[in-house]
């Protein structure tokens, strides 16, 4: 491509296509091409740019990766100040906001409000000149912020160049940069695994990610930006209502909040507030309230500002998800596998909509990381259904008599030694089923829905049964009599009868459920299923050594060790025997049913075969549990291509969709590996 004009237009076309696909994907959440097509275009552009570095422009999608670190952020003066919002904390506060509006406006009968979730992130200003992103800045003190252009450029939902037409010469878009909950969890999980510091909440994670002098770090963080207003605006006109302005921004390439709504009067606001309050926990991002704005821009003008906040808007806050309280003491709980978990006993505090008096401290590493002591003022976070966590401490408020948290050397329940496996953060009670706590947890697990599914046998009842000495092990459950159960708290003859009937019904089970219910460490439902399918019956499983256990899908040396160890211990074998004697039974899995390592996988077989017949290959794949289909789709797991037919249409389709392919030789090896050939 030697012609410079042709080259330029190829460049422009690629950039336009990529920017458009980026917008479809990140802003509209409605991509029109598969990821692989995007990757292909991106690769093309990168190659072209490496051949012609002089043609690389700042709006190129390749420039989102972050540049070399800055030594400091420079300052940015906001021509139009970035204001904050007044807060409301009750319906009364909102009603007095409404009265203030009515007092100032001459015709206040029907005020239209825009309602938007108040995103919990960092306010940002983005300046576009002739459609190009020129500068990104933080809010700072509202008048002066910091230049974070390098960092905002890495955020995929921020357009590097405005989409469509009709945008003004100068446009300043304002909005919130935030980290979605899922990305936050993943980021913290990675940090935990690497032994690094975690972030307290998604807001801090977003702030920390944005405050990086090295934009490559920002680029690696899952940030998003949602637009909520316009600052500077020269050379063009805007619609009359705030919500229409946001719709316009959406068309120019910005993400706007899909929950945004228009309501009439304060009653509409209150209804919206309640509705979003109920939805809060299920939203993919943190919000800390609702922002209500008078929707008519002319009315906004009339109302104007007081000091730092507009008169035409208010933020009605939700109950806080973080609160401060005192750590009164730390107790140690023993779980089913003996894990000893420190639990913080707190001065009760209302947070995230409930009163919290306990929070997990996870393990010794977490205690060290927090540097927490008994007596400290701690920050407790409860967001959604997640169990309350101590996320940080307020060291400046540490009392003189604060005491260190001492991990017990012996189990608080059974007094057996507690051991810490080197390299593991968890401390464990070594008492096994001698330990009352582990026994209770084991019985609760045995009775649970995905295990033996004993209806009516909840945690509280298990605790009573053990505490009253009516049962010591799972097998004892089947010796219970209605008259004994009826005596217990909150039980009576009828519920006792029901429990006995449920126990009776649970005796008829499946091998995989039974295996899962034993509560072997690291044996979840999927592993129990894998083991039961592979070995088919209990005797075969008990006879298996660690090496053969690892032939089961997803069973590695650690799990194999736990299984073998469990089935070696005399008391476990006795418990199993006692259960079978009590009448627990299941159908063994026949050889034909048993060996299905390729279950849930769909294969397509194409091309000419020479080592085995094609039909034979299909039959053997099916024998291993695979489905064999005639055409390639996104659901296909693998395409087997005979005769090296790389121009075969099914092969091409597989390549396009990024689906795995296999030669005839590889298929033969696979069939041999699974012992069907
Ligand atoms: S409007 C003049 N809308 O809340 C009005 N702010 O407490 C300026 N925020 O600094 C803000 N979501 O960072 C507006 N939908 C939303 C918002 C929102 C979050 C933040 C913003 C602002 C702070 C004010």
Q: Round to whole Å and give the CA distance between 415 and 423.
A: 24
- Kindly tell me if the per-residue pLDDT of 669 is higher than 60: yes
Tokens 């053990």 correspond to: 466
Residue labelled with tokens 């009515």: 102
Instruction: Determine if ligand 1 sits within 6 Å of the CB of residue 145.
Output: no
Q: What is the DSSP string of 495-552?
A: HHHHHHHHHHHHTB--HHHHHHHTT-TT--HHHHHHHHHHH-SHHHHHH--HHHHTTS
Question: Is residue 119 lining ligand 1, measured as CB closer than 6 Å?
Answer: yes
Q: How confident is the model at residue 141 (pLDDT cuts 50, 70, 90)?
A: confident
Query: If DSSP states are collapsed to H, E and C, what string results for 476-492?
Result: HHHHCCHHHHHCCCCCC
Atom of ligand 1 nearest to the CA of 120: 19
Ligand 1 midpoint to CA 316 (Å): 11
Q: What is the pLDDT of residue 613?
A: 86
The answer on pLDDT for 575 being more than 80 is: yes
Q: Active-site residues: which are they?
A: 118
Residue with the larger pLDDT of the pair 32 and 435: 435
pLDDT at 516 over 90: yes
Q: Among the listed ranges 10-14, 319-323, 572-576, 594-598, which one has the minimum average pLDDT value?
A: 594-598
pLDDT of residue 615: 83
Q: Does ligand 1 have an atom closer than 6 angstroms to the CB of 87?
A: no
Ligand 1 atom 2: the closest Cα is on which residue? 83
Whether residue 30 is predicted with pLDDT greater than 90 in this model: the reply is: no
Q: What is the CA(290)–ligand 1 centre distance, in A?
A: 10
- Report CA(85)–ligand 1 centroid distance (Å): 7
Ligand 1, atom nearest to 87 Cα: 7
Under the banding of pLDDT at 50, 70 and 90, the label for residue 136 is: very high
Dihedral angle, C-alpha 135, 179, 291, 226, nearest 10 °: 40
Q: Tokens 């939203």 label which residue? A: 283
Tell me: the pLDDT tens digits for 45-89?
Answer: 989 999 999 988 888 888 887 777 777 889 999 999 999 899 898
Token pair recorded at residue 68 = 């070399």
Supply the DSSP symbol for 79: S
Closest CA to 314 of 142, 81, 140, 91: 91
Strands (E), 335-456: 339-351, 354-360, 377-381, 389-393, 418-420, 427-429
Q: What is the mean pLDDT of residues 424-435?
A: 88
What 3-state DSSP class applies to 163? Answer: coil
**Across the beta sheet with 660-663, what order do the strands follow?**
627-629, 602-606, 638-641, 660-663
Q: What pLDDT digit, counting tens, does each position of 188-198 carry?
A: 988 877 778 88
Radius of gyration of the chain (CA): 32
pLDDT at res. 384: 74
Identify the pLDDT of residue 280: 92
pLDDT of 331 reads 96
State yes or no: pLDDT of 441 exceeds 60.
yes
The fraction of the chain above a pLDDT of 90, given in percent, is: 64
C-alpha 360/C-alpha 363 separation (Å) is: 9
Ligand 1 mean position to 301 CA, how many Å? 18
- For 358-408, write each residue's pLDDT tens digit: 999 988 888 998 999 999 999 999 977 778 999 989 888 999 999 999 999
Q: What is the pLDDT of residues 101-135, one digit of tens each?
A: 998 987 667 899 999 999 999 999 999 999 999 99
Using pLDDT thresholds of 50, 70 and 90, give the confidence band for residue 592: low
Q: What would the mean pLDDT of 568-594 be, rounded to a whole number?
A: 87
Take atom 1 of ligand 1 and give the residue whose Cα is closest: 228
Rounded to the nearest angstrom, the distance between the alpha carbon of 64 and the centre of ligand 1 is 26
* Tens digits of residue pLDDT in 265-306: 999 999 999 999 999 988 999 999 999 999 999 999 999 998
Is residue 531 within 8 A of residue 563, CB to CB? The reply is yes
**Ligand 1 neighbourhood includes 357 CB (under 6 angstroms):** no
Residue 116 Cβ contacting ligand 1 at under 6 Å? yes
Task: Summarize pLDDT for 526-557 with one digit per residue, the tens.
Answer: 889 889 988 889 999 999 999 999 988 779 99
Q: Is the distance from the beta carbon of residue 294 to the nearest atom of ligand 1 less than 6 Å?
A: no
Q: What is the mean pLDDT of residues 20-44?
A: 82
């Amino acid at each position: 491509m030697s012609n410079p004009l042709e080259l330029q237009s190829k460049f422009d076309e690629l950039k336009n296509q990529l920017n458009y696909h980026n917008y479809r994907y990140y802003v509209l959440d409605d991509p029109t091409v598969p990821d692989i097509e995007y990757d292909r275009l991106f690769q093309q552009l990168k190659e072209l740019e490496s051949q012609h570095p002089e043609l690389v422009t700042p709006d190129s999608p390749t420039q989102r990766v972050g540049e070399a670190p800055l030594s400091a952020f420079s300052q940015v003066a906001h021509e139009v100040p970035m204001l904050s919002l007044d807060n409301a904390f009750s319906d009364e506060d909102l009603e007095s906001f409404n009265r203030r509006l009515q007092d100032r406006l001459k015709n206040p009968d029907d005020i239209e409000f825009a309602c938007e979730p108040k995103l919990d992130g960092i306010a940002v200003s983005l300046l576009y000149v002739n459609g190009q992103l020129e500068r990104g800045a933080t809010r700072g003190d509202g008048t002066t912020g910091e230049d974070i252009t390098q960092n905002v450029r890495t955020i995929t939902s921020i357009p590097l160049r405005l989409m469509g037409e009709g945008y003004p010469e100068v446009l300043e878009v304002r909005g919130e940069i935030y980290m979605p909950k899922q990305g936050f969890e993943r980021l913290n999980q990675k940090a935990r695994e690497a032994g690094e510091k975690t972030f307290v909440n998604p807001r801090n994670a977003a702030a920390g990610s944005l405050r990086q002098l090295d934009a490559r770090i920002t680029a690696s963080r899952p940030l998003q930006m949602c637009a909520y207003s316009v600052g500077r605006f020269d050379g063009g006109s805007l619609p009359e209502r705030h919500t229409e302005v946001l719709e316009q921004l959406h068309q120019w390439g910005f993400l706007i909040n899909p929950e945004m709504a228009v309501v009439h009067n304060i009653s509409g606001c209150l209804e919206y507030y309640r509705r979003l309050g109920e939805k809060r926990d299920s939203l993919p991002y943190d919000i800390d309230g609702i922002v209500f704005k008078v929707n008519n821009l002319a009315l906004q003008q009339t109302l104007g500002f007081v000091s730092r906040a507009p008169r035409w808007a208010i933020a009605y806050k939700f109950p806080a998800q973080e609160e401060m309280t005192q750590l009164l003491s730390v107790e140690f709980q023993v779980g089913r596998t003996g894990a000893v978990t420190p639990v913080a006993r707190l001065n009760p505090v209302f947070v995230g909509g409930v009163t919290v008096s306990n929070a997990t401290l996870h393990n010794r590493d977490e205690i060290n990381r927090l540097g927490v002591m008994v007596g400290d003022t701690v920050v407790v976070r409860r967001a959604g259904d997640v169990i309350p966590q101590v996320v940080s401490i307020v060291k400046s408020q540490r009392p003189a008599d604060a005491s260190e948290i001492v991990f017990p050397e012996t189990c608080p329940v059974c007094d057996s030694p507690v051991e810490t496996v080197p390299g593991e953060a968890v401390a464990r009670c070594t008492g096994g089923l001698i330990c009352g706590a582990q026994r209770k947890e084991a019985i609760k697990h045995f009775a649970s829905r995905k295990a033996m599914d004993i209806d009516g046998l909840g945690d509280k009842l298990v605790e009573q049964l053990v505490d009253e000495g009516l049962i010591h092990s799972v097998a004892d459950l089947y010796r219970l009599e209605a008259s004994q159960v009826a005596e217990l708290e909150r039980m009576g003859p009828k519920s006792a009868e029901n429990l006995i009937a449920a126990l009776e019904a649970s005796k008829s089970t499946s091998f995989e459920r039974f295996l899962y219910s034993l509560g072997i460490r690291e044996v979840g439902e999927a592993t129990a299923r894998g083991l039961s399918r592979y070995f088919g019956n209990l005797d075969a499983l008990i006879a298996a050594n660690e090496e053969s256990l690892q032939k089961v899908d997803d069973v590695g040396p650690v799990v194999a060790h736990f299984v073998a160890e469990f089935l070696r211990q005399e008391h476990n074998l006795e418990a199993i025997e006692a259960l079978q004697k009590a009448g627990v039974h299941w159908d063994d899995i026949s050889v034909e049913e048993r060996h299905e390592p390729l279950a849930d996988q769909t294969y397509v077989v194409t091309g000419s075969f020479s080592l085995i017949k094609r039909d034979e290959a299909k039959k053997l794949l099916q024998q291993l549990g695979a489905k064999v289909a005639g055409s390639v789709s996104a659901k296909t797991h693998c395409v087997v291509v005979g005769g090296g037919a790389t121009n075969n249409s099914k092969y091409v389709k597989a390549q396009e969709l990024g689906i795995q392919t296999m030669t005839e030789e590889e298929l033969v090896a696979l069939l041999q590996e699974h012992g069907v050939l």
